[in-house]
């Protein structure tokens, strides 16, 4: 079980959650952030600070965003477990589920 970042983060990435994570397991892709499923310790600190409610406990992810669980897991298929997001910085890719989305508009 882990936490998942879903569609509201796409093209927003305000990064409020990164500040809260005690294990630095929230990684930055080009259009979204991704929680590492094995590095996340399920503390829940990130979930309430997200201004657009993009973060869900795996089991609580809304039905229409169920694919985002897979996206957060598969994003790390070729990265393995880097053990810290800050040293990687921006990772120049996204999961295909996110790449396929049209530009997302956000009310700022």
Query: Residues in the site for ligand SF4, rule: CB under 6 A?
Result: 3, 5, 9, 12-17, 20-21, 23, 25-26, 33, 35, 40-46, 50, 52, 54-55
Least distance (Å) from ligand SF4 to the CB of residue 39?
Answer: 7
Q: Which residues are CB-contacts of 31 (< 8 A; sequence separation ≥ 6)?
A: 10, 11, 13, 94, 98, 99, 101
Closest CB 77 distance from ligand SF4, rounded Å: 18
Q: Using the 8-state DSSP alphabet, how is residue 90 labeled?
A: B
CB nearer to ligand SF4: pick between 25 and 63:
25
Nearest distance from residue 81's CB to ligand SF4, in Å? 13
Element (H, E) at 67: helix 67-74
> What does the radius of gyration of the chain's CA atoms come to, in whole angstroms?
12
Joined tokens for residue 51: 């201004």
Q: Which is nearer to ligand SF4, 13 or 95 (CB)?
A: 13
Tell me whether residue 55 or residue 78 sits nearer to ligand SF4 (CB atom): 55
Smallest distance from ligand SF4 to CB 17, Å: 3
């Amino acid at each position: 079980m882990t936490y998942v970042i879903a569609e509201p983060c796409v093209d927003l990435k305000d990064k409020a959650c990164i500040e809260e994570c005690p294990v630095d397991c929230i990684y930055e892709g080009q259009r979204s952030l991704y929680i590492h499923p094995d590095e996340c310790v399920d503390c829940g600190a990130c979930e309430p600070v997200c201004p657009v409610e993009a973060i869900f406990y795996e089991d609580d992810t809304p039905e229409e965003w169920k694919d985002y669980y897979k996206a957060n897991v598969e994003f790390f298929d070729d990265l393995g477990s880097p053990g810290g997001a800050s040293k990687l910085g921006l990772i120049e890719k996204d999961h295909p589920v996110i790449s396929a989305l049209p530009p997302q508009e956000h009310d700022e």
